[in-house]
Amino acid sequence: MTASTVGFVGILALFVLLLLRIPVAFAMFLVGFIGYSVLDSPNAAFSQLASQTFTLASSPELVVVPLFILMGNVASITGMSRRLYDAAYAVIGQFRGGLASATVIGCGGFAALSGSSVASALTMGKVALAEMDRFDYDHRLSTGVVAAGGTLGILIPPSTGFVIYAILTQQSIGRLFLAGVLPGLLMLMLFVGAVIVICTLRPGFGPAGPATTLRQKLGAITGALPIIGVILVTIGGIYGGIFSPVEASAVGAGLIVLIGALTRALSLRQFWAATKDSITTTATVMLILMAAYLLNPFLALSHIPDAVGNILIGLNLGVTGTLILILAIYLVLGCFLEGFAMLVLTLPIFFPIITNLGVDPIWFGVLVVIALEMGLISPPVGINVFIVKSVAPKVPLADIFVGVIPFWLMMILTVGILIAFPQISLFLPNSMFN
């Protein structure tokens, strides 16, 4: 049996284990260890497991994961995230579809705190769905906008998806964070545009909310200023070169905890709950990354990346055609696999191909993260859809999937714009680091 055959058998076995609901990390550990043992030796596999695990666990860049997760959890548990929604609601809620547009803006603001799409969808679902129900919004629009808006959590920095991409490809976390800012704002505006079009064509989908006075608007905006300040300090500090992403995560988490304590919105019990949840999420991410550091050497020994690369090059699609084909594969895989699993499985195969083609790895990272976002709302997995379903149990699952279609199309449009104009992604990182 050739090395490539062993590699393809290992990938097939991994898909089978995932379909059997084996946790992603354990499935990858099993396949990576057995595959490496077959292609080299069990002793080499044990040595690889020990050395790579220690290397990963001692990486200082990974400090951003627990700290940014903690920042988002504290902002959610203290109600700070609701103030972002309240501010957007006060300013544009009185327009037709205004509550849905405010939800998108609120999701974008919370994304700049949490770095998690699931957290964004869950938090904004609890905050916004009740309000939209109160004003008789169509369930397809209200649930669809929460599920889709939540996906901004892994595009607008800080982003856990960018951190994992950076670790797996040895790219700069700071550059990736900055590269996600303008595409994230572009997608946010396209989502708002989709809401406006829907409510123009179907006025009953998004009735106008109550008008607010200038005093109420100013009051809501003032209430959101502390949280907006934290966002500006963390992201602005990275852009201004004042501190690194690791330092920014510590500053952001510290400021959020300090604000919660000073305003007495954060009790010790709440802080402990937020900390425990952050530890659990971080442990899950770390296990997946450790498994990846064992699976990736197995794939390298099997020469699978070389074989797939030769196939794609043999198609003579050119740089743009090959890039579009790779993204199409991500879209298909997103219908069946969880986002982090996709990154771990595909980057060892696709990343050497795109670097050989001369594609900017930072630009590619943004496109991949958007493809992961699309998987979060694509059937049958669509984890964000199921999160919204848990918040709105009376809404049929099919209605939520129908509701996300316009926003899914906006994601396709975003990808097309970014492929046509790469500088949208590269302007901020290049202006800062060059």
User: What are the tens digits of pLDDT across the range 183-230?
Assistant: 999 999 999 999 999 998 988 888 877 778 888 888 888 888 888 888
What percent of the chain has pLDDT above 90?
16
Please give the average per-residue pLDDT across 241-261, as a whole number: 86
pTM of the model: 0.81
Instruction: Evaluate whether 206 touches 97 at the Cβ level (below 8 Å).
Output: yes
Cα angle value 414/76/138 (rounded, 5°): 55
Q: Give the model's pLDDT for residue 405.
A: 93
Cα–Cα distance, 126 to 412 (Å, whole number) = 27
Domain that holds residue 364: 3-433
Cα–Cα distance, 96 to 195 (Å, whole number) = 9
Report the range of poorest mean pLDDT among 105-119, 136-150, 225-239, 247-261: 105-119
Cα–Cα distance, 415 to 292 (Å, whole number) = 27
Cα–Cα distance, 34 to 38 (Å, whole number) = 6
Lookup result for tokens 């191909």: 353
Neighbours of 302 (CB within 10 A): 24
Cα–Cα distance, 278 to 434 (Å, whole number) = 35
pLDDT per position as a tens digit, 4-14: 788 888 888 88
| CA dihedral sign, ordered 26, 27, 28, 30 | positive
Cα–Cα distance, 430 to 12 (Å, whole number) = 40
Query: How many separate domains does the chain show?
Result: 1
